[in-house]
Chain A
């Protein structure tokens, strides 16, 4: 009762939005589509939720074909689109009642599924949805997507533009939803959220770069990465970019992530080179790759 895509293509006029996409989401899995704007994430969501027809390939959701069985899919899935799309002029409670009614159920029937989330916005149940803060809108949208107890939940960039505190809360909620046996496909442009998924697909320009567990993806990183820091970040980047043995140099938080073209080299010689170039307080140490390193390495090819 998961999700399956085989060789899916979709074009808009002469722009190929997704090309030959295949992946499987196992029942009960929390699967992440990770990629920047324009990667094709929303197009995939719209095909799986039967709002858009693929040009080529097959896909099933909860065992139903996205073309032939679209009516059954619509009954079995919950979809939270990237844009807030509840009724702004209905209250919190009216929105929830509306979605429950549409799906032939009641708030009471599945209340235990949304209790955790809905309780946080219940004090504002008479407020119009349009007047809610970003975080509250998000909780209401998730409640509405869950109220008919879907088998599969689709969340298209639920945390975009959301601050780190609210993002963390949202992911905690998702984990609890997953424990109830609901299969979840979620997309995000924030690479740090990849680590919170069971498996991920890295996607860019309509093509999948890799599919695996987050750990496996970072373990595949082919090079040793070094954290380098110095007194002047900009000068450090320029100096490393002009160094003959540099393979890649990217700022990463307080450090620069550096990889070297050579298989073996002395850290000391590079430090001396940097110091000779006028940098001070130079430090350098080995570090582990993270999802962004992996994404950038794969995206280069």
Chain B
């Protein structure tokens, strides 16, 4: 069952001069959990994620991701997680097959492994006809689905998704979430940010950051009860203030 912690964060802080972009946040994420990481623009989400994926050194606190320490073992973290952002997904000027080979190689998979997994992935996504086409020519929705599959290619225990569905059409957005559910069902932990509040409802638990702190963390159902509202959108509106 969902007992093993994949992320453990205690008082994690990142300061830029006097400004604490992330101010002593603490939480845990369990194996196979879909964890929604929400907050207004400028609340500190991106800074927090950068620390968790090992590309930004925290100022203080403690954090472990898939068992590795963010202070001392950031390289091990990078090898053992998946990451997908809205902006950088895949190389537009490489073909679908080339992108898969490239990322498989980056994560240290053997040629044989890559070949087998690539075949399986292309089949699952129904991309047989475009496997040798440039990724840049694919519709955005396909790109995002492919990008998600590539981020899972090396079987990471956790995948970080930074606004994966921005601008995607409603049907593809839902197909994307079905892929997320499937991955979580198979034990992969999902750490996701989104500005679509209906997507916040799809998460097992949701945290909301306001001005560098986590101001709320619970299941969507309990958060709605706690704030006495009907939707996550209203929870968000009640909680998140603009810092400008």
A251 contacts partner chain B, Cβ-Cβ < 8 Å? yes
CB pair B40–A160 under 8 Å, yes or no, is no
A182 to B196 Cα, complex, angstroms: 29
A234 to B184 Cα, complex, angstroms: 9
Q: For chain A residues 238-290, which have a beta carbon within 8 Å of chain B?
A: 250-254
B163 contacts partner chain A, Cβ-Cβ < 8 Å? yes
Q: For chain B residues 118-156, which have a beta carbon within 8 Å of chain A?
A: 139-141
A299 to B220 Cα, complex, angstroms: 30
A134 contacts partner chain B, Cβ-Cβ < 8 Å? yes
The CB with the most chain B CB atoms within 10 A, among A35, A38, A234, is that of A234
CB pair A38–B42 under 8 Å, yes or no, is no
A35 to B48 Cα, complex, angstroms: 32
A292 contacts partner chain B, Cβ-Cβ < 8 Å? yes
A204 to B184 Cα, complex, angstroms: 31
CB pair B237–A168 under 8 Å, yes or no, is yes
A165 contacts partner chain B, Cβ-Cβ < 8 Å? yes
Residue of B nearest to A133 (CB): B42
Q: For chain A residues 179-207, which have a beta carbon within 8 Å of chain B?
A: 189-192, 204
Which single member of A38, A163, A234 contacts B39 (CB below 8 Å)? A163
Known: A254-B220, A296-B171. A162 touches B41 (CB 8 A): yes
A169 to B181 Cα, complex, angstroms: 33
Residues of B near A252 (CB, < 8 A) are: 198
B214 contacts partner chain A, Cβ-Cβ < 8 Å? no
Q: Which of B3-11, B15-23, B104-112, B228-236 contacts A (4 or more CB under 8 A)?
A: B228-236
Residues of A near B86 (CB, < 8 A) are: 161
Which single member of B41, B170, B177 contacts A134 (CB below 8 Å)? B41
Residue of A nearest to B220 (CB): A254
Q: Give chain A nearest CB distance to B86 CB in angstroms.
A: 8
A237 contacts partner chain B, Cβ-Cβ < 8 Å? yes
B98 contacts partner chain A, Cβ-Cβ < 8 Å? no
CB pair A237–B178 under 8 Å, yes or no, is yes
Q: Give chain A nearest CB distance to B120 CB in angstroms.
A: 19
A224 contacts partner chain B, Cβ-Cβ < 8 Å? no
Which single member of A136, A190, A233, A237 contacts B244 (CB below 8 Å)? A136
Q: Give chain B nearest CB distance to A293 CB in angstroms.
A: 9
Q: Give chain B nearest CB distance to A200 CB in angstroms.
A: 14
CB pair B41–A38 under 8 Å, yes or no, is no
CB pair B139–A253 under 8 Å, yes or no, is no
A38 to B233 Cα, complex, angstroms: 27
Q: Give chain A nearest CB distance to B188 CB in angstroms.
A: 12
CB pair A253–B237 under 8 Å, yes or no, is no
CB pair A233–B237 under 8 Å, yes or no, is no
B116 contacts partner chain A, Cβ-Cβ < 8 Å? no
A118 contacts partner chain B, Cβ-Cβ < 8 Å? no
Q: Give chain B nearest CB distance to A258 CB in angstroms.
A: 13
A28 contacts partner chain B, Cβ-Cβ < 8 Å? no
Known: A164-B197, A166-B242, A234-B185. A251 touches B174 (CB 8 A): yes
Residue of B nearest to A295 (CB): B170
CB pair A162–B195 under 8 Å, yes or no, is yes
A38 to B169 Cα, complex, angstroms: 9
Which single member of A36, A135, A296 contacts B242 (CB below 8 Å)? A135
Which single member of A133, A164, A190, A233 contacts B236 (CB below 8 Å)? A164
The CB with the most chain A CB atoms within 10 A, among B141, B167, B168, B197, is that of B167
B240 contacts partner chain A, Cβ-Cβ < 8 Å? yes
Known: A135-B41, A166-B41, A234-B185. A161 touches B166 (CB 8 A): yes
CB pair B197–A37 under 8 Å, yes or no, is no
Residues of A near B167 (CB, < 8 A) are: 36-37, 160, 189
Which single member of A161, A163, A204 contacts B240 (CB below 8 Å)? A163
Residues of B near A254 (CB, < 8 A) are: 201, 220-221
CB pair B170–A37 under 8 Å, yes or no, is no
Q: Give chain B nearest CB distance to A259 CB in angstroms.
A: 14
A50 to B23 Cα, complex, angstroms: 48
**Interchain residue pairs with CB less than 8 A apart (16):** A36-B167, A36-B170, A37-B140, A120-B244, A161-B41, A161-B195, A165-B241, A166-B40, A166-B242, A192-B233, A204-B169, A233-B181, A234-B181, A234-B182, A253-B198, A253-B231
* Contacts from A to B (Cβ < 8 Å): 35-39, 120, 133-136, 160-169, 189-192, 204, 233-234, 237, 250-254, 292, 295-296, 299-300
Question: In the complex, given contacts A161-B163, A163-B43, A168-B237, what are 5 additional A-B residue pairs having Cβ atoms less than 8 angstroms apart?
Answer: A164-B197, A253-B201, A292-B170, A295-B169, A300-B171
* Contacts from B to A (Cβ < 8 Å): 39-43, 86, 139-141, 163, 166-172, 174, 177-178, 181-182, 184-185, 195-198, 201-202, 220-221, 231-233, 236-237, 240-242, 244
